[in-house]
Amino acid sequence: AAAAASSASPRGRVVSAGGKRILLVNDLRGQLTALNAAAVAHRVDCVICTGSFGFFDAPRSHFVSSTSTTLIATVPSELTDFIKGTKALQVPVYTVWGGVEDVAVIEKFRTRKYQVPNLHILDERSTFKIGTLRLFGMGGNTDHLKLFDFGEGSVDFIAGDHEHMWVTLLQIGQLIELGRKTPTTTDEMRVFVSHSGPMHDALMAQIATELKCNVSISGCVSTGMTSYFMPAAALPYAFLIDNFIRSSSSVRAVWEEIESQVRQSLSEADFRMAQDAYKLSQARASQSYLREVLHVSVSRNVGGGHAVLTLDNTGVCVEAQHPLFEFWRIQNAKPPRTGQDARHSRTPNRGPKPCRLYPHGRCKNGSSCPFLH
């Protein structure tokens, strides 16, 4: 277990499982000390993070680009303080790595050169149990063209470079083996935690199905609000099936092009593992996944609001609370302009481009912002 957050308490979702309350967070970006305060505020026993944890250390943090990860570049990760022991995580934290992390740092955790008390990394080799929840996890973005590209990774099947992480087919194969070796008991609920969501790439949905998971939890990349849904109840059936078909076709195209090369370069055991992962990617959409698995998509924004997922013998109960940001916007809106004023309603210091931070509540410039709000 370990911790994470920012100077403001991270937006979180609280789960209660077997008497334990669990805070769900995403997109911590290396600001880890605030998570301790959030744990106290939400009265939680532990935390699950769906990625962008902040796996950067001081010697390499300057490599982070200013294009795709501006906020991480301008606010260095606090992880080094926790590695050195000058700061400590107050509750256990279970996390997958995100799409923007440093592969060298993650490999140091894998080889135990780096250790942080209370920090547990969910990956293809590790499963943990919290109360009645059995956790499995898969970090990194999904890019089918990189399923056999390990980048700068040199430990096991971890793939990435100094600022990006992605999923490999061999990691999927190893996770499948882990799931098969882990006994399924009637008193536990299986949970699949991933950075890339099953609605973004059906490959994640196929993994959750193979692991016999009841719940999947992933980061949300499109909205500022956490959502809970069963796929068949929330989305058109044709869309879901098409999502599986697109994913399978994409993986198949890569596999057919490099299968012979992969067979020559891998050991027999590793090739069988890759084959298992490929066969999984070609599986048809599971009706049990579409109709019975609860998916939790955790907000990427930092701010207020939380949600409680209660698991007991009778089933699953979801309670969510979000800040009334639309109400706030209406209350603070200026009265509409009419006549000649309406033709000049835009302030002269604003350019034609919209502000990228404003929709996510991150713009601090207010009316002086040079971009449109």
Q: Give tens-digit pLDDT for 178-216.
A: 999 998 888 888 999 999 988 889 999 999 999 999 899
Question: CA 122, CA 105: separation in Å to the nearest integer?
Answer: 15
User: Between the CA of residue 241 and those of 162, 212, 291, what are the distances in Å?
Assistant: 36, 19, 13
Q: What is the pLDDT of residues 151-183, one digit of tens each?
A: 998 889 999 998 899 999 999 999 999 999 998
Q: What does residue 47 show for φ and ψ, rounded to 5 degrees?
A: -135, 145
Closest-CA residue to 228 (of 129, 314, 311): 311
Q: What is the pTM of this model?
A: 0.79
Amino acid identity of residue 55, one-letter, is F
User: Between the CA of residue 215 and those of 131, 226, 273, 296, what are the distances in Å?
Assistant: 15, 15, 25, 8
What's the number of CA atoms in the CB half-sphere (13 Å) around residue 134?
A: 16
User: Between the CA of residue 287 and those of 231, 236, 283, what are the distances in Å?
Assistant: 10, 14, 12
Q: Which two tokens stand for residue 326?
A: 């639309």
For residue 286, what pLDDT is reported?
81
Between 109 and 220, name the one with better pLDDT. Answer: 109
Average pLDDT over residues 239-246: 92
Q: How confident is the model at residue 223 (pLDDT cuts 50, 70, 90)?
A: low
For residue 359, what pLDDT is reported?
67
Q: Count CB atoms within 10 A of the CB of residue 258.
A: 12
Question: CA 51, CA 165: separation in Å to the nearest integer?
Answer: 11
> Is residue 195 within 8 Å of residue 207, measured between CB atoms?
no
Q: How confident is the model at residue 319 (pLDDT cuts 50, 70, 90)?
A: low
User: Helix 268-281 vs helix 237-265: angle between axes, to the nearest 10 degrees?
Assistant: 160
Q: How confident is the model at residue 365 (pLDDT cuts 50, 70, 90)?
A: confident
Question: CA 356, CA 372: separation in Å to the nearest integer?
Answer: 9
Asked whether residue 89 carries a pLDDT value surpassing 60, the answer given is yes
- Which of 12-26, 33-47, 342-356 comes out lowest in average pLDDT? 342-356
Q: Which two tokens stand for residue 198?
A: 């099953």
> What is the 3-state composition of the chain as percent helix, strand, coil, each rounded to the nearest 5?
35, 20, 45
For residue 109, what pLDDT is reported?
96
Between 325 and 250, name the one with better pLDDT. Answer: 250
For residue 277, what pLDDT is reported?
95
Amino acid identity of residue 177, one-letter, is E
Closest-CA residue to 287 (of 241, 239, 229): 241
